[in-house]
């Protein structure tokens, strides 16, 4: 019988290599920082990787482009000689009801938020299969389950992330690859900052947004990163196919962020 790996409590990801998509900003940047603090070597894949000084390697990758994703994974394998952990976090938003967006926009958002996960996972799987501690975390959203008004396309994409996570968990269980999702509530990131900045009175809008959260404040990117780090770590060795809400209780209370 293979002995259980010895896990350091201070550096539970020591010796492992992680890829974080969308890791140059917001939640992805916090995840990259946290995984490094836990001992992993971290490669960030991002459209704009310039700001990713918190990474060991920053690669310009568009998750909507298969050649770009394959080249990014090949660069990680070349640089570190292995790939153990994958965080499929890159995502974009979309506003409006089901009629608000034409086909091209539906295809674009689904291509990044859903097919981007399939594409990056497909490229990474040959390496993950060789890892003794392989794990994937996909970033979904409270929008997947909340019935959020004026977010039809975004909600559909994040619901698909949850279904895909379950299917991947089942498919790769016997290969020793765990697959989980994280479900953030409204998190304090540049994305939300941009939305607030577009309001007439950004400060008042922020106060109103905070007041709508069950715990009276936005979720921090670091809190989401902590959940991801746990799901990736050997401490979650018996956990696969779950989605972990980091939403201040919004899902528990059946509330919506808007």
Query: Which residues of this protein are in contact with ligand NAD, per CB under 6 A?
Result: 21-22, 24-28, 45-48, 61-64, 89-92, 112, 139, 141, 184, 186-187, 189-192
Got the DSSP string for 183-194? EE-SEESHHHHH
Contact of 57 with 74, CB cutoff 8 Å: no
Closest C-alpha among 19, 40, 16, 38 to residue 28: 19
The 3-state DSSP class for residue 225 equals: helix
Residues 217/248, Cβ–Cβ less than 8 Å: yes
CB 109 within 8 A of CB 92: yes
- Least distance in Å: CB of 174 to ligand NAD? 28
- Between 15 and 205, CB nearer to ligand NAD: 205
Distance CA 99, CA 92 (A): 18
Output the smallest distance, CB 94 to ligand NAD, in A.
10
CB of 23 to ligand NAD, least distance (A): 7
Gyration radius of the chain's alpha carbons: 18
Q: Which of 177, 157, 159 is nearest to 169 (CA)?
A: 177
- Residue 13 or 182: the one with the smaller Cβ distance to ligand NAD is 182
Please list the active-site residues.
154
CB-wise, 151 or 178, nearer to ligand NAD?
A: 151
- CB of residue 208 to ligand NAD, shortest distance in Å: 15
Q: Please, which residue, 32 or 133, has the CB nearer to ligand NAD?
A: 32
């Amino acid at each position: 019988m293979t002995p259980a790996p010895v896990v350091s409590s201070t550096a539970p990801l020591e010796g492992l290599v992680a890829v974080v998509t969308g890791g140059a900003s917001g939640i992805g940047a916090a995840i990259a920082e946290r995984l490094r603090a836990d001992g992993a070597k971290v490669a960030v894949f991002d459209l704009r990787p310039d700001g990713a000084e918190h990474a060991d390697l920053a690669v310009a990758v568009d998750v909507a482009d298969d050649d770009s994703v394959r080249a990014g994974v090949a660069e990680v394998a070349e640089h570190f000689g292995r790939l153990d952990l994958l965080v499929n976090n890159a995502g974009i938003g979309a506003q409006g009801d089901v009629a608000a967006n034409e086909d091209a926009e539906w295809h674009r958002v689904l291509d990044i938020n859903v097919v981007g996960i399939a594409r990056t996972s497909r490229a990474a799987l040959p390496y993950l299969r060789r890892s003794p501690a392989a794990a994937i975390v996909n970033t979904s959203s409270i929008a997947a389950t909340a019935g959020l008004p004026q977010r039809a396309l975004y909600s559909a994409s994040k619901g698909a992330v949850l279904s895909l996570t379950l299917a991947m968990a089942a498919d790769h269980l016997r290969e020793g690859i765990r697959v989980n999702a994280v479900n953030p509530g409204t998190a304090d990131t540049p994305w939300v900052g941009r939305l607030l900045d577009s309001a007439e009175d950004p400060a008042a809008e922020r106060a109103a947004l905070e007041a709508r959260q069950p715990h009276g404040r936005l979720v921090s990117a670091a809190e989401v990163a902590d959940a991801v780090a746990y799901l990736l770590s050997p401490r979650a060795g018996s956990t696969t196919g779950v989605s972990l809400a980091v939403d201040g209780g919004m899902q528990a209370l059946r509330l919506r962020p808007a």
